[in-house]
């Protein structure tokens, strides 16, 4: 009788600990790829971001404006400053100011 009781208690403890480990693993944050980590930080490099990233991460930038930024960069070379975005058709001062904190320019 004691062996059955001990075995039952041992089984219960092992089952519970297994469930606890599974629950903890499912709640643990997963590692993000390097590109996603930069996006989480909220800073977008306009000299390397693709149109999809620009559209997704910037306020007031849809697919057409995002592509215009990429096209301008390809035609004129890397942006020298964030303010140079004002040269892109469809990007005005208000749009630039809404996104200024999210933007960076790599050398």
The DSSP code sequence of 12-70 is: HHHHHHHHHHHHHHHHSPPPPPHHHHHHHHT-EETTT--HHHHHHHSTT--HHHHHHHH
Q: What pTM was estimated for this model as a whole?
A: 0.63
Report the pLDDT value the prediction gives residue 27, as an integer from 0 to 100: 55
Q: Over the stretch 5-60, which tens digit does the pLDDT of each residue have?
A: 555 654 555 455 454 445 545 554 444 454 443 343 679 999 999 999 999 999 99
């Amino acid at each position: 009788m004691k062996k059955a009781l001990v075995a039952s208690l041992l089984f219960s403890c092992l089952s519970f600990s297994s469930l606890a480990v599974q629950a903890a693993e499912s709640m643990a944050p997963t590692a993000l790829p390097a590109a996603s980590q930069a996006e989480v930080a909220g800073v977008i490099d306009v000299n390397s971001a693709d149109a999809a990233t620009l559209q997704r991460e910037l306020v007031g930038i849809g697919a057409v404006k995002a592509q215009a930024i990429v096209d301008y960069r390809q035609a004129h070379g890397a942006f020298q400053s964030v303010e140079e975005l004002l040269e892109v058709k469809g990007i005005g001062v208000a749009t630039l100011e809404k996104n200024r904190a999210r933007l960076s320019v790599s050398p």
